[in-house]
Amino acid sequence: MIQEELVKAALQARNYAYAPYSKFSVGCALLTKSGKIFTGCNVENISLGLTICAERAAVAAAIAEGEKDFVAIAVVTDSDAPALPCGACRQVLAEFNPA
């Protein structure tokens, strides 16, 4: 099932997260209309505003490969509590999927 594949890919991406300040690792997997999966992880910076969220990293990876039609996303963290994309990530996702 594609949902399981997305979660597995997001979990793998989370392993590469760079989160020395928050200790909160995030992984994301993004499915495109063409069936490709792109992943991203959060990359923190001591200057908080320069931190890259996993969702935006995945979107950037897809765009860099010419993909911009997204149909599904999986976001995983190292917390038991559900996590939702931040406002900036929601805005970026909405830019490419306004529906």
The arithmetic mean of pLDDT across residues 13-28, rounded, is: 98
How many Å apart are CA 59 and CA 81, to the nearest integer? 24
**pLDDT, position 99:** 62
Task: Name the active-site residue from 5, 44, 55, 95.
Answer: 55
Q: What is the mean pLDDT of the chain?
A: 95
How many Å apart are CA 84 and CA 77, to the nearest integer? 10
26's enclosing H/E stretch is strand 26-32
Domain hosting 15: range is 2-96
Q: How many domains does the chain have?
A: 1
Catalytic (active site) residue 44: no
How many Å apart are CA 49 and CA 6, to the nearest integer? 28
**pLDDT, position 86:** 95
**pTM of the prediction?**
0.93
* pLDDT tens-digit readout, 43-53: 999 999 999 99
CATH number at residue 75: 3.40.140.10
